[in-house]
Amino acid sequence: MKIDLSGRIALVTGSTAGIGEAAAQELASAGADVVVNGRNADHVSETAERLGARGIAADVSSDEGAAALIEELPDVDILVNNTGIFSTQPVFEIPDEEWLRYFRINVLSGVRLARHYAPRMKDRGWGRVIFVSSEAGIQTPTTMVHYGMTKTAQLAVSRGMAQELAGTGVTVNCVLPGPTLSSGVLEMWAELYPGLDPAEQERRFVADGRAATSLLRRLIRPEEVANLIAYVASEQSTATTGAALSVDGGLVPTIFP
């Protein structure tokens, strides 16, 4: 199967590192005209140059930032809502503003952009809206309840939008990665397991942490998530919509997708 996205404009939010950057690179490799996004203008410029893509620096978690991005980029064919944050915090110690901050960044950012772009995709008869959710959306992490709440919300938003766009040629789906190796994770490992090589750090993290039930016995790589995003963005995925698609390495112990 050859994925060809030539002539398609793809916006990937939060794409200067990690899954977002890998997704931007994979979509560009498939021929899409990719737009890199992030809050830091220097990081956006560097990433866009490295990928041979365009770059727009904007904070899509705010009304003003989303509006500025939309003004510069009125139309896209593929929208990958990847912007998000996570951290650990005891649930009864999370203040109201932190709950709202997580919702604004992880959920409303994608809602704002889809609210603008999806109807325009509908008018053209083709489009892809992809939310990068998480397996945390279906098995809430005890130490990250506020994060898990936003990932569950993305599943509901994605399904509802897919229903609204039924029969239009526009699909809306969620991709659910498991714990994924990123620069932030490597920094965390350096603090947790000082002096150990990365392979041993990963082995210990998997054995002791949330990835202990992974059937891969390792963390997901960003490019592995990007591969699924590229498929969902492609012509080949026409019959896939309103779905929550796992790329968690078998972490969630269920036979139901």
Catalytic residues: 147
CA-to-CA separations, 71 to 113, 196, 246, in angstroms, rounded: 12, 48, 33
